[in-house]
Structure 1
Amino acid sequence: MEILFLCVVIFLFLLAVFDLSVGVSNDAVNFLNSAIGSRAASFKRVLIVASIGVFIGAAMSNGMMDIARHGIFRPEHFSFYDLICIFMAVMVTDIILLDIFNSLGMPTSTTVSMVFELLGATFVVALIKMAGGIDLGFNDLLNTEKALSVILGIFLSVAIAFFFGTVVQFLSRMIFSFNYRSNLKWKIGIFGGICATAIVYFLLIKGAKDLTFMTPEVKGWIKAHTGLIILCCFGFFTILMQLLHICKVNVLKIIVLMGTFSLAMAFAGNDLVNFIGVPLSGLASYQDYIANGGGDAHGFLMDSLNGPANTPIYFLIGAGVIMVVSLATSKKAKNVTKTEIGLGSQQGGDEMFGSSRISRRLVRWTLSFLNWVRGITPPRVRRWFNRRFNVDETIMDQGASFDLIRGSVNLVLAGALIAFGTSLKLPLSTTFVTFMVAMGTSLADRAWGRESAVFRITGVISVIGGWFLTAGAAFIGAGIIVAAMHYGGHWVMFLLAALTIFLIIRSNRRFSKKNDAENGGDALFQAIITTQDKTQTWPLLLMYITEQQQGFLAYAEEKYRDITAAFIGDNAGVLNKAESSLAKQKTVLKNARRKETLCLRHLTREMAIEKSTWFYLSNNLCMNILYNLRRINEVCKEHVENNFMPLPPRYATECELLRTRISTLFNDTLELMKSGDIAAISVLRRHCDEIKDIVSDTYHRAHDQLRDGDTSAMAVLYVYVNMLQETQEMVSSIRKYLRAFAKLRDSEFRSRPALSSASLE
């Protein structure tokens, strides 16, 4: 049995390595967001600064390991086998949950998952022990007081981070305004001194007691002279920042990089326990069992875990190396970064989320409240605030999502809050704090305008909902897994290990395919909204519109073939899948139209007036085609699911010939769009008229048969007639679309040759 438990411990460490890679995609990326979003430095420089912070923070994380050892359960009442099952359940559940959320691009919380996995697994094992006749209650088995303080600390950090983010950014913007370069002067020295002093205080003074190489004498001296250290730091950094500003050095970029360092350090000091705390506790348990257990895994109690964790430094540094390498190479990290930066962007961008009823209500209530505040505020005060918060004066580097003032506040404030929680031995969620600070600062900066507020509030609610979903899924998932292992023994452990490996491989392959499919369109969209050359905006936008609509028409042709074949073949499964796919495609079309509308704003006024009519017409016609397909599928699905009579053979043959004509029309349209030969559009439009006539004749024959024919075939003929009607409307939409496409392309071909996607590379 010792070999089995050794294998389990080794597997825990293998999962920890992957957990570090997955977790850094989700959590460690938080300390890069503000530096990337404000373009304070190149990605390589930001990564170097963050890496240094991670290494130093890793050395400070030893004190937090106690959360995994005895923060949730009371180890003196659990056997070695109980804890091995708990640790295995936590790691397996953690890997699955984090990988799923990262693949969806949703920033979840490793702290929430670890705490609730430990809580769920311990709760179930406690139930099993109590059912087995042990004379102990939940208070004896669970460290309820500590667990409650940890959970409250996690969820209260949401409100605290959002509140302080809003207030501090409001004050900072009131002092500096959006045109901050004209308001720096002597203020920048004080601002830099406060930021640097906050970093020193929270990360060195508050965290010093957890450094593995600190002696008690040095700790005592720091504690006794804290006030003097703070005062000296403030004076030194204020003078230093002011001198740098006089020497024409961009002090705000230095503050952002210092903040990146501090947040990376706070992250490693607080969240490293989420990744390696459980495997290290498993190793400590195994070593104690081998030394003192006497081979009795079910009877040997683990009261040794009540002692302090003395984690070897090479474990901490090794974990830091894995995190840095994963951070630099992870595609999923960039996906999660895109979510947070997009929700806090000062400019209009790709709104990743739709609208919801609660977000629409919140925006309406907020607007009403702001109108009331405006009404009672003196005009002079209103004018002063409007000058300080004039978004039109925003100073941002090329491609940035927000300015350096907000980037500084995001990083310094989040790092300070996390480090303060770490000093209290509370594993605050780095994701919670950094995300909510960023949302609070974006709100104070008026980044949530009337046209984007609904979508961004929906995004925040979705992300927070994902965190709570993580808590519930972690609690239930870990409980189920630990129960299966407790009763199933080592065979279930092996089975779960194999299942975990399979899910990891499948999830990564799926994410790679999805990422490859999305990269091209996203790159083109970003090129459009960031280009400063107005003459290049329309050619790029035309290329983007064409690629998006080509993709939709190819999808429509495929779905029309699938739906008609499923109706002829009486296949309900294909029709069910088509219904779900068509519903998702509606969201895709709406998002594409929103992004293209944002791009239209970057055109010159004359070009926007000329092209907007045909742009909106082409989008509406694509939506009409989608509605035609949905109405065809809806009626066919209902008919087939009710097991009514299938389409008679002579109508089936007729329908297949018609389907071939429609597919050819779609393919000819796609070929024309690819070649850009607008001279051939008139020929293709005449072909549409011919197909419409054929569909009309087929419709009238079927309608006559429906009126005069066999009553037993009335139900299927009704579905067939509906299909023909919708097909005729769809062909009509394609004909109108070709005209709109010609109008969009006309001026492009008069002024310049067609562009291709390759020209972006």
Structure 2
Amino acid sequence: MGDIYIYMLIILAGLAITDLVVGVSNDAVNFLNSAIGSKAISFKTIMIIASLGIALGALSSSGMMEVARKGIFNPGEFYFDEIMIIFMAVMITDVLLLDFFNSLGLPTSTTVSIVFELLGAAVCVSLLKIGESETETFLDLGRYIASETAIEIVTGILLSVVIAFTIGALVQFLSRLMLTFNYRKRPAFLAGIFGGLSLTSLYYFIIVKGLKGADLGGLNFIFEYTTNVYTTLGYGFIFWIIFSLIYVYVLKWDIYKLIIILGTFGLAMAFAGNDLVNFIGVPIGAYDAYNIWMDAGAVEGFRMDALGGKLPSQKWLLILAGVVMILTLWFSSKAQAVVKTSVDLARQDSGIERFKANFLSRYLVRYSIMTADGIQRVMPKSATNYISKRFEKVPSLGLVTKNADKPAFDYVRASVNLMVASVLISVATSYKLPLSTTYVTFMVAMGTSLADRAWGTESAVYRIAGVLNVIGGWFFTAFSAFTAAAIFAYIIYLGGFYAIIGLVVLAVVLITRSFIMHKRSQTEQKITDELHKAESKTIQGIIEESSDTVATVFKRSKNMYSKTLEGLINQDLSALKSARKDSKKLGVEVDALRNNIYFFIRNLDEQTIGASKFYIDVLGHLQDISQSLEYISRSSTDHINNNHKSLKFTQIKDLKEIINRIHDIFEESENVFKNKDFIRLESIISKKRELLELVDSKIEKQVKRTKNTDESPKNTTLYFGLLLETRDLMNTTTQVAEQYFTEYDSNQFDTESE
């Protein structure tokens, strides 16, 4: 009998390692986004600092392990085998759920997932016990669930959203009033004061509060001198103010960069201290339960009252978990996608928005503007002018320099993000409250971006929609975690060890599939021809740079057109859906280039302002091409998806002739633009005109067929639509070629004249 539980512990250990990997991939956003977004230090330096923070934070998380053992349910009301069912169901659910969110590139809360998984599995097993009892009813569920603790934890998680957002916005508002966006030119003593306050906060809440519960062996004597809060804070503030002023005035170093370095370290440490329980708390609880059961003689029907008591921490397991977390941080590529979501929503400037506006975001923005206008009318004019002046942006903030990947926000906001999030998480950890680090860091970042007026009229509706999507994902996490853990617990209860093996195999298959798909998408992303914005300031430079983009559009257009019509001819719905997805992606990328026109024009010199018209016209033509391809793919997909009649033999024959001609023309055009051999464009233009004549003849042929034979209305409509859109597609590509040929020829003439 005991061998089965040993196998279960081995499985739990494997799941714990997997959970650490997928969990850190998800939660890396919590402590990396501010440093990465501000670009204060190199990525390698960020990773080293975060790794050191994780290593130290892992040792301070021992007290949090009690939450998994007794924070959600009363272990004394369950037998050992029932406890193992709960723990096994929780770990399988957690691994699958976190991997699902990682694959989507969305940050979710590992704390929410583990809390509701424990709650779901415990409720399921409790109801099964109640169902088997002749005396108990549903009202007795409160005996099994630690209601007060569970409510306290859930309430704390929900309140953290409001608290983190409010405090983040308030601290950022005050910081910006003091330092402004032009903080580099403010008096140095202000930077010293800001540094002193920031470093004092990080020192007390991270080092004193965060590490006080850590098992540091002989170093624990340090904390004997920090029992008096006011004395510790007072002396700490004096020391760090003096340190900051020396740092700024004497050494003339950047205090903001130091705050970001220490803040990243502190936040990584706070993350490990608070969130490690989410990944290994359940397996450690199962290991403790097994030891208690074995010490009691491995008897059946043994109640786990001892699991609710004080148990020694497994320091070696904490160290091992810290090592796995650090390795994952360095080698996980999924973490980068999750970090990108948070940085995009908090960036200072407008640009390409990842999320689409929805009715709720529009409603919130509309009424927020009305509220702001009302407040502005009530406030004294002098106060309004003073605040507005403090929040004036630095003029160069909106410029996009050549080949520059500029910061999403400045050092001041990055410092506040790290400082406030670190303080809030460390306070929660010191009270053994499993606060959601994802909730806190994300909402602090959103609060500071709001206070910094990053959500202007150009971007607010999209940013709020993004925040609502992420928060909605958290609620979805809670519901999914509770439901899936309850279902898995029921399956294990019925099927025993065989059910466990089946669920583990399912988890391995799904995670392996997710890993393969992620690798494949990465490979495709590397080899996929993406469109790049032009950054040159001369007409010759624009021709050179944009020709690569045109070559890419022609290449992708050739593949999409062929895939769509071949899919239509063969009635291959999957190929049609794939082509439609590709056409939408092309449209989004072209729109992104058009949205960058503002910054492109801002960067042009006065002497070369004429280059903008050429580039705008090129992008207009590319947009027309993408719209034609999108129409062709959409109408073809809808036709097959609606189970309409297939094309007739004569229609297929005509289409194949057009496909072959277009394929050759697009391929030749692609090579011309790729090699910048624009002198060959004249012959391509004539070939495209011949193709237009061919398309016109096919249209006339179909008109006669429609008049003289019994044609399907749907087929006829589709066929005419395809031919007409193909003609528009060729007209547009001809215009692109003519535009480049004209400009290149004109440019060559001007060069020779000089």
| Residues 1:355 and 2:362 are matched in the alignment | no
| Residues 1:275 and 2:276 are matched in the alignment | no
Query: In terms of mean alpha carbon deviation, does 414-423 or 47-56 score higher?
Result: 47-56
The answer on whether the counterparts of 1:108 and 1:463 sit within 8 Å (CA) in structure 2 is yes
How far has the Cα of 1:337 moved from its partner? 2.0
| Residues 1:733 and 2:732 are matched in the alignment | yes
| Residues 1:334 and 2:336 are matched in the alignment | yes
Counterpart in 2 of 1:675? Answer: 675
Query: In terms of mean alpha carbon deviation, does 416-425 or 252-261 score higher?
Result: 252-261
The answer on whether the counterparts of 1:21 and 1:322 sit within 8 Å (CA) in structure 2 is yes
The answer on whether the counterparts of 1:688 and 1:735 sit within 8 Å (CA) in structure 2 is yes
Q: Distance in 2 between matches of 1:104 and 1:749?
A: 49
How far has the Cα of 1:668 moved from its partner? 2.2
* Runs of at least 5 residues in structure 2 that lack an aligned partner in the other structure: 399-403
Match of 2:367 among 358, 365, 368: 365
**One-letter amino acid matched to 2:125:** V
Local SS of the residue matching 2:188: coil
Q: Distance in 2 between matches of 1:544 and 1:7?
A: 60
How large is the Cα RMSD of the aligned pairs?
3.2
Q: Distance in 2 between matches of 1:58 and 1:642?
A: 56
Q: Distance in 2 between matches of 1:212 and 1:221?
A: 14
Cα gap change, 1:217/1:311 in structure 2, threshold over 3 Å: closer, same or farther?
closer
User: 1:249-268 alignment to 2 at 5 Å?
Assistant: 249-268=253-272
The answer on whether the counterparts of 2:212 and 2:223 sit within 8 Å (CA) in structure 1 is no
Cα gap change, 1:466/1:522 in structure 2, threshold over 3 Å: closer, same or farther?
farther
Cα gap change, 1:480/1:675 in structure 2, threshold over 3 Å: closer, same or farther?
same
How far has the Cα of 1:674 moved from its partner? 1.4
Cα gap change, 1:632/1:141 in structure 2, threshold over 3 Å: closer, same or farther?
same
Counterpart in 1 of 2:296? Answer: 292
How far has the Cα of 1:173 moved from its partner? 0.8
Counterpart in 2 of 1:183? Answer: 186
Q: Deviations over 1:706-757 (max 9, x none)?
A: 11x23255553443233222222222222223234546767887899xxxxx
Counterpart in 2 of 1:405? Answer: 412
| Residues 1:230 and 2:233 are matched in the alignment | yes
Counterpart in 2 of 1:16? Answer: 16
Cα gap change, 1:84/1:704 in structure 2, threshold over 3 Å: closer, same or farther?
same
Counterpart in 2 of 1:459? Answer: 466
How does the TM-score come out when normalised to structure 2? 0.90
How far has the Cα of 1:171 moved from its partner? 0.3
The answer on whether the counterparts of 2:17 and 2:324 sit within 8 Å (CA) in structure 1 is yes
Q: Distance in 1 between matches of 2:498 and 2:680?
A: 67
The answer on whether the counterparts of 1:208 and 1:219 sit within 8 Å (CA) in structure 2 is no
| Residues 1:311 and 2:330 are matched in the alignment | no
**One-letter amino acid matched to 1:156:** L
Q: Distance in 2 between matches of 1:520 and 1:655?
A: 30
How far has the Cα of 1:88 moved from its partner? 1.9
How far has the Cα of 1:65 moved from its partner? 0.5
Counterpart in 1 of 2:156? Answer: 153
User: 1:123-134 alignment to 2 at 5 Å?
Assistant: 123-133=123-133
User: 1:575-724 alignment to 2 at 5 Å?
Assistant: 575-576=576-577, 578-579=579-580, 582-583=583-584, 585-595=586-596, 598-607=599-608, 609-637=609-637, 639-640=639-640, 643-707=643-707, 709-711=708-710, 713=712, 715-724=714-723
**One-letter amino acid matched to 1:331:** S
Cα gap change, 1:361/1:513 in structure 2, threshold over 3 Å: closer, same or farther?
same
Q: Deviations over 1:164-198 (max 9, x none)?
A: 11110100110111222333433333322222222
The answer on whether the counterparts of 1:391 and 1:446 sit within 8 Å (CA) in structure 2 is no
Q: Deviations over 1:416-447 (max 9, x none)?
A: 01111112221111111111111111221222
Counterpart in 1 of 2:401? Answer: none
Counterpart in 1 of 2:144? Answer: 141
Q: Deviations over 1:223-255 (max 9, x none)?
A: 752221221111111112112222112222222
The answer on whether the counterparts of 2:347 and 2:449 sit within 8 Å (CA) in structure 1 is yes
User: 1:73-112 alignment to 2 at 5 Å?
Assistant: 73-112=73-112
User: 1:373-452 alignment to 2 at 5 Å?
Assistant: 373-392=375-394, 399-452=406-459
Counterpart in 1 of 2:561? Answer: 560
Cα gap change, 1:588/1:72 in structure 2, threshold over 3 Å: closer, same or farther?
farther
Q: Deviations over 1:507-529 (max 9, x none)?
A: 22222332344458999969x88
The answer on whether the counterparts of 1:548 and 1:592 sit within 8 Å (CA) in structure 2 is no
Cα gap change, 1:718/1:190 in structure 2, threshold over 3 Å: closer, same or farther?
closer
Q: Distance in 2 between matches of 1:68 and 1:88?
A: 13
Local SS of the residue matching 1:86: helix
Local SS of the residue matching 2:394: helix
Counterpart in 1 of 2:121? Answer: 121
Q: Distance in 2 between matches of 1:633 and 1:383?
A: 54
The answer on whether the counterparts of 1:611 and 1:744 sit within 8 Å (CA) in structure 2 is no
Counterpart in 2 of 1:346? Answer: 348
Q: Distance in 1 between matches of 2:43 and 2:358?
A: 35
Cα gap change, 1:749/1:129 in structure 2, threshold over 3 Å: closer, same or farther?
farther
* Runs of at least 5 residues in structure 1 that lack an aligned partner in the other structure: 753-761
How far has the Cα of 1:132 moved from its partner? 2.1
Query: In terms of mean alpha carbon deviation, does 393-402 or 52-61 score higher?
Result: 393-402
| Residues 1:44 and 2:48 are matched in the alignment | no
The answer on whether the counterparts of 1:178 and 1:395 sit within 8 Å (CA) in structure 2 is no
Q: Distance in 1 between matches of 2:749 and 2:283?
A: 67
How far has the Cα of 1:394 moved from its partner? 7.6
**One-letter amino acid matched to 2:161:** V
Q: Deviations over 1:75-108 (max 9, x none)?
A: 1122222222222222222222222222322111
Cα gap change, 1:441/1:493 in structure 2, threshold over 3 Å: closer, same or farther?
same
**One-letter amino acid matched to 2:448:** T
Cα gap change, 1:242/1:537 in structure 2, threshold over 3 Å: closer, same or farther?
farther
How far has the Cα of 1:15 moved from its partner? 2.0
The answer on whether the counterparts of 2:346 and 2:445 sit within 8 Å (CA) in structure 1 is yes
Cα gap change, 1:645/1:217 in structure 2, threshold over 3 Å: closer, same or farther?
closer
Counterpart in 2 of 1:501? Answer: 508
Q: Distance in 1 between matches of 2:658 and 2:127?
A: 65
Counterpart in 2 of 1:192? Answer: 195
How far has the Cα of 1:162 moved from its partner? 0.8
The answer on whether the counterparts of 1:196 and 1:237 sit within 8 Å (CA) in structure 2 is yes
Q: Distance in 2 between matches of 1:615 and 1:283?
A: 65
How far has the Cα of 1:40 moved from its partner? 3.0
Q: Deviations over 1:191-232 (max 9, x none)?
A: 222222222332344345523358999699557522212211
Q: Distance in 1 between matches of 2:248 and 2:221?
A: 35
Q: Distance in 2 between matches of 1:710 and 1:524?
A: 46
The answer on whether the counterparts of 1:209 and 1:219 sit within 8 Å (CA) in structure 2 is no
How far has the Cα of 1:544 moved from its partner? 6.6
How far has the Cα of 1:400 moved from its partner? 2.8
Query: In terms of mean alpha carbon deviation, does 272-281 or 185-194 score higher?
Result: 185-194
Q: Distance in 1 between matches of 2:728 and 2:129?
A: 68
**One-letter amino acid matched to 2:264:** T
Cα gap change, 1:677/1:197 in structure 2, threshold over 3 Å: closer, same or farther?
same
The answer on whether the counterparts of 2:537 and 2:611 sit within 8 Å (CA) in structure 1 is no
Sequence identity (%): 36
How far has the Cα of 1:53 moved from its partner? 2.3
How far has the Cα of 1:535 moved from its partner? 5.3
How does the TM-score come out when normalised to structure 1? 0.89
How far has the Cα of 1:351 moved from its partner? 2.9
Counterpart in 2 of 1:757? Answer: none
Q: Deviations over 1:678-712 (max 9, x none)?
A: 222222122111111111111112102211x2325
Q: Deviations over 1:36-87 (max 9, x none)?
A: 3223333333333333322222221111111100111111122222222222
